[in-house]
């Protein structure tokens, strides 16, 4: 799957600001490989984890015996939280949810006499006017719904709740009843005889506006035959009446959805034309292209567009998009369609589609020069100058000005067709008259294949002596923080790797082969079960079935494409036809089979699967583009030379990786550009493509019913089926595998895992980042800055930013990515042995599901189950789901580690929108948990030196958490006292005294024990070559930055900015302050203060203190404290709420008293962001290293997709919509501090490079060799002082005043009013205290 989401994975190293769903956890996106037993999500340990299996709520899912078309069920707009969020056909629960009386709560084939009950309940439900939530099930989650998608279903506002009541909600409920009626109609239920129910269908599955029947038109009346569900027609009449009463509203909604999706051409072709077209006098009359057809004359059998006589597109008046969001989606869709034609080299179809868009008032409004350039590029590759001339004239007639790319395409065409000089001169003269210079063509334009050579050929036809402009001289970053770093006088040679040129070339070829395959299949570390005859037979059966399924899916895909290509036949999927031709048919089949093989028995959300399928197609399309453009050959050529910078048997070079790569690219001269212009596909398009592929999969894949039981008839049944399930108060569509398939997979006991290649560590040094669009993997598309779907402002900001300003950030990411790693094999083997021996929860090795608590035996009839029994069963299922989640997470990490156990590997890095860095591979990396960190070693070894062994011992004691308040010397002495335990742990980890097991980080402690044992037993410990990383961690780093910003003397002392003999513990200080407040209140007779006597501790307040700096609210803080109090068995449960409410108030008061400057700065940032957002702008700033940042919080809107199986509601949130004021305001202070801590880390990384250190980080935890800890500590302090010696707040104020309050941006009176208030706010920069920043240089415990 593509990087940027679709799935999110909590970054193990990041701290969270709270326990709840709004916790400030930084997410690392990446490719989430899936498995047949893939973890779902579960809430536990203060963060959301994947969880599978448990079905929440009281209502069972609606099962379908066959994958037939279900009713269209949708959710209206819910709380705007995430961009690109997809609702899987979700609906508010009716009143009867949780009562056991739901009309579809009965499973087919269970119990007798259910037909009457179902009919009775259906009648009862129709009389309900306003369904309400089921409070009991609120807040729970079920299996398979990723948090990033699920959180968009959270509680709605009061206004939204009110809007959902009444007619609209009744229509939704009635649509659900339609679904049940259709389901019962087709279900094979022997106990319930269901007659055909004729329902007047609301035209929901069309994108055009619904047609409202005329008043005189006779409507069909529901009729029933026999003694079934529809005998009494009163409920059906009411259903019919309600549905028709809602058609005007549905008409408006569906019409707006059509314009929003940019699919008017198909929508209008389906609708009855009523008005004549608006004709353009400047454009020749063109017929609409409404169907795709196979070109019989082409040897490649490429699709083409067939003209349809009397196209409806030209004859209907079209509604203009209401806002910029609609226009942006429409523009993206048009550009994506044109790039499809470009990839397929279908010039006629592309031009016809472009002219069709030009003839549409809606689409003409969003057409830009880029759309014309794309079509002209197709003609240029064919050397057709006449067609290109025609498009040039249309472009100018449309009021658009040709840009540099337009002239580059025109000159390429003249060069390819060897046009006469007159034609070339005409374009060159036009280029000059437009204010361009011919040299700019080669300096600013991007080329593919031989385009650059063709342009040069054309120019030299009329100017034979023309020479390419020399490459621009490298620009040097002028940041005051990095003047010495970029100074050539102080620059040394770049450090070498311990590999020869030949070895690095071989590793590059291995990496390339892996990426070209797209996926990597590895052996699982789970203990292989004995291969029984049953397993052998199951594997043979699966192999046979998969071969049959491959053929069936291929036939279904080809049949679907033929159907789409028929002229005069319209389908809502016709627009997808070019996207189904981008790859060979076999690749689509591979993608669908991979989804099938990875599907867990609990199933997966329809929306998640659709998005994943669409994203996989897009990823492979991008790789195909890179291969076709010739980019790969050029990357290979340059990488072979780039190796000279890193290989040990090459000459030393005084270049950074980025600088050396840029030098090699400039020297390469001709060939394709490495920065391809890629058009991202809109979320709606990805969903639609994925849904179509999912429907093909569901319809094509079948299994004989008697494959496991020969006594049954050999009827083919679907392997996948579509159900609805309730999660809390939402109805969600799921795709589930048939139990027969799940049983087959279980019996086969296959021992492999399949991952996307981008989820694996790299086998060669990463390609250096040289721009926002190029770097990291060889082929896999990776963004420099990860962001939420459909949020493009970050990428635009980066592209508009002068590249020289991004050099420090790019160089820091390259430095982190160039750190080579290897596996600590002895520790890995011990972990795997425990993993396969039932695990150990105390050691964070999740046990298998066989160890899960067994649910109690049900007492007979389900109607006799008590509430406590049901709750006990639910808790057992929840625990099993959590165990499954954790087990799968550990399985992935350990299996990948085992796969690379004998290899050296690298983690390419990118960053989030705040500048915080993350490894691109999402599963196994050094940001992981204790287990993951324990099995990672630096590939480069260095001698310990005179103090290295001491640092290893101090590091071990830090990992135990035993001596946090003691001085470093005391920690070292303690380590020497317990050397016997340390050596015993190293020698007998599982059979000795097991001292290491009782530490905070047991696995890292064990690894450190082993390293100390080896070093201390070596002849010369100082000469011992150590690969072990030693950590230095910031002391409440967020508060350190606040204290330095405000020069807060008391705050600085509390967070170890001031030199002191012992480490200061801010958490204990706050707890002590809170205790003083409590004593005073208790003396005054306050009951809750008296109850809390003896319960206030460091542990109770720590999480809240830590996360105050990251924007935790009093509400979130109260939940954190309540959780800690619950862990105290002696605390009276009846006082939990009152006590947590009291304590969070006192914690905030204590922090305000101890960190007065911190609260002032936080309030100033919050108020400034509030005023900026209220004026309709998003909060932006630039870090001291020059990285532009914009907060991606906008109000979201829903787009309803009508797909074959169900309706999907896609939530989009992008920069063309209004900012979310609350999120912009609350997130600014923590995001600003995060941008500062990432700046400090990058400065430290770059200066450590100059000192020759190995350096990596986990945000505010810095790693290096034991030999160089002292040097890293010095650099870390120097860069912190240098950073905060800048006028950070003053510079922020000036930047925002210029951006938001300059006179040029004011146009109306309301804006001027906001600007006046904002100007006053921004100008009032908080005053600073008297803390001397240089004291940090002498503070031992600043980082320790």
857 CB neighbour count, 10 Å cutoff: 7
- Locate the DSSP E strands across 1151-1295: 1180-1182, 1188-1190, 1197-1202, 1207-1212, 1256-1258, 1261-1265
User: For residue 59, which of 131, 167, 159 has the smallest C-alpha distance?
Assistant: 131
Strand partners, 1194: 1219
User: For residue 15, which of 1073, 1141, 1039, 1223 has the smallest C-alpha distance?
Assistant: 1039
pLDDT at 1214: 63
Rounded Cα distance, 544 and 774, in Å: 43
Rounded Cα distance, 84 and 1208, in Å: 12
C-alpha 55: how far from chain center? 25
Rounded Cα distance, 951 and 592, in Å: 52
Backbone angles phi, psi at 132, to 5 degrees: -120, 175
Rounded Cα distance, 250 and 240, in Å: 15
Q: How confident is the model over 413-425, as pLDDT tens digits?
A: 999 998 899 999 9
Query: 600 vs 55, 442, 520, 608, 738, CA distance in Å?
Result: 14, 52, 19, 13, 11
Average pLDDT per consecutive 10 residues, the chain (1344 residues; last block may be shorter): 37 36 35 39 36 34 34 33 40 36 35 40 35 34 35 36 42 47 42 30 30 36 35 43 44 38 38 37 34 34 33 36 67 90 91 90 88 93 91 89 92 91 91 92 89 92 90 86 83 88 95 93 84 88 92 94 73 76 94 91 88 93 90 92 92 90 88 80 89 93 85 86 79 88 88 91 96 92 80 82 93 96 96 92 90 81 75 86 89 95 96 94 93 96 95 95 90 94 94 93 96 95 95 90 91 91 88 90 90 89 84 86 89 90 91 84 93 91 94 84 80 74 92 95 95 92 96 96 95 93 57 78 91 93 92
Which residue is associated with the tokens 């004709």? 279
Rounded Cα distance, 213 and 210, in Å: 9
pLDDT at 646: 93
Rounded Cα distance, 662 and 642, in Å: 10
Rounded Cα distance, 715 and 707, in Å: 10
Query: 423 vs 464, 626, 1099, CA distance in Å?
Result: 16, 32, 79
Find the DSSP H helices in 599-678.
Answer: 606-628, 631-646, 657-668
Asked if residues 302 and 346 have their Cβ atoms less than 8 Å apart, the reply is yes
Distance between the two ends of the chain, CA-based, in angstroms? 39
Strand partners, 1182: 1188
Query: In degrees, to the nearest 5, what angle opens at C-alpha 955 toward C-alphas 954 and 957?
Result: 65
Residue % of the chain over a pLDDT of 70: 73
Asked if residues 307 and 541 have their Cβ atoms less than 8 Å apart, the reply is no
Strand duo 27-30 + 7-10: pairing: antiparallel
pLDDT at 111: 39
Strand partners, 292: 305
Asked if residues 722 and 89 have their Cβ atoms less than 8 Å apart, the reply is no
Rounded Cα distance, 328 and 14, in Å: 34
DSSP string for 893-923: HHHHHHHTTTS-EE--EEE-TTS-EEESSSS
User: For residue 177, which of 253, 86, 227, 239 has the smallest C-alpha distance?
Assistant: 239
User: For residue 576, which of 1204, 1210, 1207 has the smallest C-alpha distance?
Assistant: 1204
Asked if residues 1175 and 1161 have their Cβ atoms less than 8 Å apart, the reply is no
DSSP string for 1083-1108: HTT-HHHHHTTTT--HHHHHHHHHHH
What is the strand order of the sheet 1261-1265 is part of?
A: 1029-1033, 1261-1265, 1256-1258
Burial profile 1309-1321: b = 16 or more Cβ within 10 angstroms, e = fewer: eebeebbeebbeb
C-alpha 54: how far from chain center? 24
Residue 1219 per-residue DSSP state: B
Average confidence score pLDDT of the chain: 77
User: For residue 1288, which of 1069, 1009, 1046 has the smallest C-alpha distance?
Assistant: 1046
CA neighbours closer than 13 Å in the CB half-sphere of residue 1051: 32
User: Cβ contacts of residue 1180 below 8 Å, gap of 6+?
Assistant: 797, 1188, 1189, 1190, 1191, 1299
pLDDT at 566: 76
pLDDT at 178: 52
At what angle are helices 825-835 and 1002-1017 packed, to 10 degrees? 140
Catalytic residues: 1033, 1102, 1260
Rounded Cα distance, 482 and 1185, in Å: 9
C-alpha 29: how far from chain center? 4
For the chain, state the CA radius of gyration. 33
3-state secondary structure 1110-1162: CCCCHHHHHHHHHHHHHCCCCCCHHHHHHHHHHHHHHHHHHHHHHCHHHHHHH
Rounded Cα distance, 659 and 646, in Å: 13
Whole-structure pTM value: 0.77
Strand partners, 1219: 1194
C-alpha 672: how far from chain center? 30
Find the DSSP H helices in 989-1056.
Answer: 1002-1017, 1037-1046, 1049-1054
Q: How confident is the model over 1281-1311, as pLDDT tens digits?
A: 999 999 999 999 999 999 988 765 445 555 5
C-alpha 953: how far from chain center? 39
């Amino acid at each position: 799957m593509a990087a940027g989401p679709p799935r999110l994975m909590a970054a193990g190293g990041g701290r969270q600001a709270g326990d709840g769903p709004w916790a400030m956890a930084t997410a690392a996106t990446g490719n989430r490989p899936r498995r047949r037993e893939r973890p779902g999500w579960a809430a536990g340990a203060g963060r959301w984890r994947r969880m599978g299996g448990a079905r929440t709520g009281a209502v069972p899912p609606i099962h379908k015996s066959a994958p037939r078309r279900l009713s269209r069920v949708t959710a209206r707009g819910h709380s705007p939280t995430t961009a690109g969020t997809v609702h899987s056909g979700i609906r508010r629960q009716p009143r009867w949810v949780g009562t056991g009386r739901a009309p579809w709560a009965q499973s087919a084939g269970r119990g007798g006499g259910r037909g009457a009950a179902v009919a009775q309940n259906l009648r009862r439900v129709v009389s309900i006017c306003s369904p309400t939530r089921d409070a009991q099930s609120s807040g729970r989650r079920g299996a398979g719904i990723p948090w990033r998608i699920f959180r968009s279903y959270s509680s709605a506002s009061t206004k939204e709740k009110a809007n959902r009541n009444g007619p609209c909600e009744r229509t939704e409920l009635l649509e659900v009843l339609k679904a049940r009626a259709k389901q019962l109609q087709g279900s094979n239920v022997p106990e319930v005889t269901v007659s055909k129910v004729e329902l007047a269908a609301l035209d929901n599955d069309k994108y055009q506006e619904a047609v409202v029947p005329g008043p005189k038109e006779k409507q069909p009346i529901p009729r029933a035959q026999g003694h079934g569900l529809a005998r009494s027609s009163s409920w059906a009449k009411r259903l019919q009446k309600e549905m028709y009463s809602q058609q005007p509203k549905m008409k408006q909604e569906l019409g707006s959805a059509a314009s929003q999706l940019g699919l008017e051409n198909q929508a209008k072709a389906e609708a009855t034309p009523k008005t004549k077209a608006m004709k353009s006098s400047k454009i020749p009359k063109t017929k609409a292209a409404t169907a795709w057809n196979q070109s019989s004359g082409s040897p490649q059998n490429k699709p083409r567009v067939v003209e349809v006589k009397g196209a409806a597109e030209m004859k209907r008046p079209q509604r203009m998009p209401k806002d910029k969001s609609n226009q942006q989606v429409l523009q993206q869709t048009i550009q994506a369609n044109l790039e499809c034609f470009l990839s397929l080299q279908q010039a006629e179809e592309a031009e016809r589609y472009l002219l069709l868009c030009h003839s549409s008032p809606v689409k003409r409004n969003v057409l830009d020069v880029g759309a014309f350039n794309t079509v002209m590029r197709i003609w240029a590759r064919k050397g057709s100058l006449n067609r290109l001339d025609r498009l040039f004239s249309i472009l100018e007639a449309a009021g658009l000005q040709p840009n540099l790319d337009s002239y580059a395409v025109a000159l390429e065409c003249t060069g390819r067709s060897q046009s006469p000089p007159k034609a070339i001169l005409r374009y060159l003269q036009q280029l000059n008259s437009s204010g361009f210079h011919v040299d700019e063509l080669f300096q600013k334009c991007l080329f593919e294949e031989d385009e650059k050579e063709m342009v040069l050929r054309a120019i030299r036809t009329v100017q034979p002596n023309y020479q390419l402009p020399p490459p621009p001289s490298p620009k040097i970053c002028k940041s005051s923080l990095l003047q010495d770093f970029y100074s050539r006088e102080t620059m040394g040679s770049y450090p070498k790797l311990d590999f020869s040129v030949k070895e690095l070339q071989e590793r590059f070829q291995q990496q390339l082969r892996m990426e070209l395959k797209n996926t990597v299949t590895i052996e699982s570390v789970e203990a292989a079960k004995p291969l029984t005859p049953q397993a052998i037979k199951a594997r043979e059966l699966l192999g046979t079935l998969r071969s049959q399924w491959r053929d069936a899916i291929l036939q279904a895909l080809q049949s679907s494409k033929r159907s789409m290509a028929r002229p005069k036949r319209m389908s809502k999927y016709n627009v997808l036809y070019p996207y189904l031709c981008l790859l060979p048919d076999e690749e689509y089949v591979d993608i669908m089979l991979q989804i099938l093989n990875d599907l867990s028995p609990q199933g997966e959300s329809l929306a998640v699967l659709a998005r994943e399928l669409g994203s996989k197609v897009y990823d492979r399309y991008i790789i195909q583009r890179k291969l076709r453009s010739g980019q790969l050959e050029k990357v290979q050529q340059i990488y072979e030379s780039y190796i000279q910078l890193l290989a040990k048997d090459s000459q030393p070079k005084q270049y950074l990786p980025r600088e050396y790569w840029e030098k090699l690219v400039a020297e390469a001269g001709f060939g394709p550009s490495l920065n391809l212009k890629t058009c991202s596909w809109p979320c709606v398009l990805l969903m639609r493509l994925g849904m179509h592929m999912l429907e093909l999969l569901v319809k094509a894949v079948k299994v004989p019913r008697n494959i496991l039981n020969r006594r049954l008839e050999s009827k083919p049944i679907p392997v996948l089926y579509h159900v609805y399930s309730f999660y809390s108060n939402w109805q969600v569509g799921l795709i589930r595998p048939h139990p027969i398939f799940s049983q087959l997979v279980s019996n086969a006991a296959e021992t492999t895992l399949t991952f996307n290649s981008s989820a694996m560590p790299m086998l060669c040094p990463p390609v250096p980042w040289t721009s926002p669009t190029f770097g990291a993997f060889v082929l896999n598309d990776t963004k420099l800055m990860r962001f939420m779907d459909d949020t493009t402002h970050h990428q635009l900001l980066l592209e508009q930013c002068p590249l020289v300003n991004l050099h420090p950030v790019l160089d820091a990411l390259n430095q982190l990515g160039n750190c080579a790693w290897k596996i600590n094999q002895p520790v890995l083997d011990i972990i795997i042995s425990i993993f396969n021996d039932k695990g150990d929860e105390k050691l964070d090795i999740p046990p298998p599901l066989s160890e899960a608590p067994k649910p109690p035996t049900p007492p007979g009839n389900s109607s006799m189950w008590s509430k406590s029994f049901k709750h006990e069963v639910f808790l057992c299922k929840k625990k099993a789901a959590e165990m499954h989640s954790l087990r799968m997470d550990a399985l992935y990490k350990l299996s990948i580690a085992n796969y690379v156990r004998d290899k050296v590997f690298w983690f390419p890095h990118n960053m989030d929108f705040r500048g915080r860095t993350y490894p691109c591979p999402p599963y196994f990396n050094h940001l992981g948990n204790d287990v993951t960190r324990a099995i990672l070693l630096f590939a480069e070894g260095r001698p310990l030196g005179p103090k290295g062994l001491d640092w290893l011992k101090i590091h071990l004691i830090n990992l135990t958490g035993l001596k946090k308040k003691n001085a470093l010397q005391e920690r070292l002495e303690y380590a020497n006292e317990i050397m016997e335990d340390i050596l015993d742990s190293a020698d007998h980890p599982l059979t000795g005294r097991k001292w290491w097991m009782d530490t905070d980080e047991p696995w890292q402690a064990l690894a450190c024990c082993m390293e100390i044992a080896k070093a201390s037993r070596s002849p010369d410990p100082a000469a011992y070559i150590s690969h072990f990383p030693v950590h230095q961690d910031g002391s409440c780093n967020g508060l350190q930055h606040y204290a330095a910003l405000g020069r807060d003397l008391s705050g600085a002392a509390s967070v170890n900015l001031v030199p002191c003999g012992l480490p200061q513990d801010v958490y204990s200080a706050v707890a002590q302050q809170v205790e003083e407040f409590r004593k005073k209140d208790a003396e005054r007779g306050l009951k809750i203060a008296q109850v809390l006597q003896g319960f206030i501790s460091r542990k109770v307040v720590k999480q809240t203190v830590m996360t105050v700096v990251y924007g935790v609210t009093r509400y979130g803080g109260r939940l954190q404290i309540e959780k800690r109090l619950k862990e105290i068995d002696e605390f009276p449960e009846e006082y939990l709420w009152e006590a947590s409410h009291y304590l969070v108030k006192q914690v905030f008061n204590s922090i305000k008293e101890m960190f007065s400057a911190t609260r002032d700065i936080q309030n100033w940032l919050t108020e400034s962001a509030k005023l900026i957002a209220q004026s309709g702008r998003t909060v932006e700033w630039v870090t001291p290293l020059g990285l532009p940042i914009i907060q991606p919080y906008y109000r979201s809107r829903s787009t309803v997709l009508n797909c074959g199986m169900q309706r999907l509601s896609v939530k989009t949130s992008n920069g063309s919509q209004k900012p979310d004021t609350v999120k912009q305001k609350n997130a600014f202070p923590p995001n600003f501090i995060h941008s500062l801590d990432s700046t400090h880390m990058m400065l430290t990384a770059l200066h450590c490079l100059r000192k020759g250190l190995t350096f990596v980080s986990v945000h505010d935890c810095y790693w290096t060799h034991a030999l160089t800890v002292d040097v890293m500590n010095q650099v870390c302090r120097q860069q912190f002082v240098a950073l905060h010696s800048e006028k950070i707040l003053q510079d922020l104020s000036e930047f925002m005043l210029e951006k938001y309050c300059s006179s040029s941006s004011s146009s109306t009176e309301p804006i001027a009013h906001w600007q006046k208030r904002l100007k006053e706010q921004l100008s009032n920069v908080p005053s600073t205290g008297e803390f001397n920043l240089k004291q940090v240089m002498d503070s031992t415990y600043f980082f320790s």
